[in-house]
């Protein structure tokens, strides 16, 4: 490997030895930059990699709140303001017990590259808390969100840092966070958060955007290789925001989604998943995917017993991991390849381990990397910010068309960068190089930042 890249990875390993997810994301990106770093010494001369791998600012704070029994609870809040090179810090908030500094930093790091790929003026950030919304009452979630924002408000703003949703943070949470921000600021700063409900400044199609965007990217990638979604069998892990709308668009492109999952297990319905039933369970009742059997007794349920999800054992043409990081590991990749998978598209952030990704690429499976393939969510967030700035609304159709154009462009940028690097068809390398070039140019142009 290039000695400059090697040195930066090794220094990062020493400095962040207790942050495995962050190091994993960093290694994946840096090790793919060789074709461009080798060619031009301006990157090393300007210490671009050292600067790009160190967040501009990390904020960690206490979030005290009172549960329904009157007991005081304390969680930890985070906001990683990773890069403001090309716009205000931008990225989601995750509420999940697995949240820690390493997870936040990996997500913030990925977000810089993803946001650069959208071509829109947004920097990169991530935040969240180890708060677990599962099983909490609406009142508890509201009190938590109000306390979280009582600290976060001083660090954000529509031209400073614009959070949005991610795992465990959807329309309900964004509403409570926005209400508290507005009270504290005594101003209607519509663009301070995205993923808002339509009735107070949200964008049509933001809810659908990440899943739809993933399918637009898949469509372009398959077209490039003389294939399409039409008639394909699809399995999708997760059953949250990204998974549900990925499934919806897959069906509308003529594919058949036969399996979906949650953290407890997966359902298989050979007739095709009934999405209305999934939406009722997940969006309305906040229930478990197993309840699908209540309305479809002929479907099958496989409980997750070990570390690996049973969903990857199901034969499929196309696999879309849309739940969480490292959910698709080498042994899962081997099963998918043995069962004839032709394409994998990452709806979640870093769902595929490095070894599994390499296995797919070595076996000529088309692979759509997260930072490109799931960029439709944040791109539509930027379109929401635009609407808030101009105090106007676009129709669903207008937003969807813009999203489609952005995702199509992203695919073609990844393709061109992969071709130029001499690794045609490797969109992992393509995405990393295309994003890196934009960020490095901005960093050089702005002097020592």
- The closest alpha carbon to 101, from 8, 16, 177, 29, belongs to 16
Site residues, ligand 2IT (CB under 6 A): 90-92, 114, 164, 166, 194, 349, 377-378, 381
Task: Give whichever of 170 and 265 is closer to ligand 2IT, judged by the CB atom.
Answer: 170
Partner from ligand 2IT, ligand NDP, none contacting 21, C-beta within 5 to 8 A by type: none
> Within positions 64 to 103, which residues make up the interface with ligand NDP, using CB under 6 A?
98
Assess 210 for contact with ligand NDP (CB under 6 A): yes
The residues, any chain, with a CB within 8 Å of residue 31's CB and separated by 6 or more, are 1, 5, 9
Query: Considering beta carbons, is residue 9 or 275 the nearer one to ligand NDP?
Result: 275
Please give the C-alpha separations between residue 355 and each of 111, 113, 124, 132, 333, in angstroms, as whole numbers: 22, 21, 26, 30, 9
- Measured in whole angstroms, the distance separating CA 194 from the mean position of its chain's CA atoms is 15
Residue 46 binds ligand NDP, judged by CB under 6 A: no
Partner from ligand NDP, ligand 2IT, none contacting 128, C-beta within 5 to 8 A by type: none
| Most distant CA atoms of the chain, gap in Å | 64
Residue nearest to ligand 2IT (CB): 92
262 lies in the binding site for ligand NDP (CB under 6 A): yes
Residue 336 CB, nearest approach to ligand 2IT (Å): 24
Smallest distance from ligand NDP to CB 158, Å:
19
Of 48 and 94, the one with the shorter C-beta distance to ligand NDP is 94
Q: Residue 347's binding partner, choosing from ligand 2IT, ligand NDP, none, with beta-carbon cut-off 5 to 8 A by kind?
A: ligand NDP
Instruction: Output phi, psi for 161, to 5 deg.
Output: -160, 125
How far is the CA of 190 from the CAs of 137, 270, 333, 430, in angstroms?
A: 27, 44, 43, 35
- How far, rounded to the nearest angstrom, does the alpha carbon of residue 300 sit from its chain's CA centroid? 29
Interactions with ligand NDP, residue window 382-411 (CB under 6 A): none
Choose among ligand 2IT, ligand NDP, none what residue 168 binds, the Cβ cut-off being 5 to 8 Å by kind.
ligand NDP
Burial of 330 (0-12, 13-18, 19+ CB in 10 A): middle
Least Cβ distance, residue 376 to ligand 2IT (angstroms): 9
Q: Can you say how many angstroms the Cα of residue 353 is from the centroid of all Cα atoms in its chain?
A: 15
Distance of alpha carbon 129 from alpha carbon 407, whole angstroms: 30
Q: Tell me if 324 contacts ligand NDP by CB under 6 A.
A: yes
CB-CB contact of 448 with 61 (8 Å): no
Among 314, 322, 410, 414, binds ligand NDP (CB under 6 A): 322
Q: What are the b/e assignments for 265-278, b being 16+ CB within 10 Å? A: bbbbbeeebebebb
User: Of ligand NDP, ligand 2IT, none, which one sits near residue 207, judging by CB under 5 to 8 A according to partner kind?
Assistant: none
C-alpha distances out from residue 181 to 42, 145, 301, 381, Å? 43, 10, 42, 18
Pairwise CA distance, residues 310 & 298, whole Å: 18
Least spacing, CB of residue 173 vs ligand 2IT, in Å: 12
337 to 366, contacts with ligand NDP by CB under 6 A?
A: 347-349
In terms of CB distance, is 211 or 310 closer to ligand 2IT?
Answer: 211
Please list the active-site residues.
Answer: 126
Q: Which residues bind ligand NDP (CB under 6 A)?
A: 98, 165-168, 210, 238-243, 262-264, 322-324, 327, 347-349, 374, 377
């Amino acid at each position: 490997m290039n000695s400059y890249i090697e040195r930066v990875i090794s220094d990062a390993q020493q400095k962040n030895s207790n942050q495995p997810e962050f190091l994993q994301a960093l290694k994946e990106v840096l090790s793919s930059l060789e074709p461009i770093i080798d060619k031009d010494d301006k990157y090393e001369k300007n210490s671009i990699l050292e600067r790009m791998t160190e967040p501009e600012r990390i904020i960690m704070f206490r979030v005290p709140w009172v549960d329904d029994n009157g007991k005081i609870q304390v969680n930890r809040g985070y906001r990683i303001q990773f890069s403001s090179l090309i716009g205000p810090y931008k990225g989601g908030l995750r509420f999940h017990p697995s949240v820690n500094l390493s997870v936040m930093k990996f997500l913030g790091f990925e977000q810089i590259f993803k946001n650069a790929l959208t071509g829109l003026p947004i920097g990169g950030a991530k935040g969240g808390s180890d708060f677990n919304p599962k099983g909490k009452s609406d009142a508890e979630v509201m009190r938590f969100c109000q306390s979280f924002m009582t600290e976060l408000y001083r660090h954000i703003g529509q031209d400073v840092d614009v959070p949005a949703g991610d795992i465990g943070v959807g329309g309900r949470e964004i509403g409570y966070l926005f209400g508290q921000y507005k009270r504290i600021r005594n101003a209607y700063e519509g663009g301070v958060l995205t993923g808002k409900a339509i009735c107070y400044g949200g964008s049509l199609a933001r809810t659908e955007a990440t899943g739809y965007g993933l399918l637009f990217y898949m469509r372009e990638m398959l077209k490039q290789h003389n294939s399409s979604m039409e008639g394909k069998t699809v399995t999708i892990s997760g059953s949250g925001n990204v998974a549900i709308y990925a499934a919806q668009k897959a069906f509308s492109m003529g594919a058949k989604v036969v399996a979906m999952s949650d953290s407890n297990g997966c359902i298989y319905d050979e007739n095709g998943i009934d999405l209305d039933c999934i939406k009722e369970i997940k969006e309305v009742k906040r229930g478990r995917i197993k309840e699908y059997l209540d309305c479809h007794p002929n479907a099958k349920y496989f409980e997750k017993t070990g570390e690996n999800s049973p969903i990857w054992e199901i034969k499929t043409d196309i696999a879309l991991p849309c739940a969480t990081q490292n959910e698709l590991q080498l042994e899962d990749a081997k099963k998918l390849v043995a069962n004839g998978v032709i394409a994998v598209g990452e709806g979640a952030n870093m769902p595929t381990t490095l070894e599994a990704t390499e296995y797919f690429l070595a076996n000529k499976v088309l692979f759509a990397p997260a930072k490109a393939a799931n960029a439709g969510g944040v791109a539509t967030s930027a379109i929401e910010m635009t609407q808030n700035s101009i105090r106007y609304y676009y129709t669903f159709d207008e937003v969807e068309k813009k999203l489609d154009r952005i995702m199509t462009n992203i695919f073609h940028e990844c393709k061109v960068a992969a071709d130029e690097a001499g690794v045609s068809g490797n969109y992992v390398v393509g995405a990393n190089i295309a994003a890196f070039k934009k960020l490095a140019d901005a960093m050089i142009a702005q002097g020592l930042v």
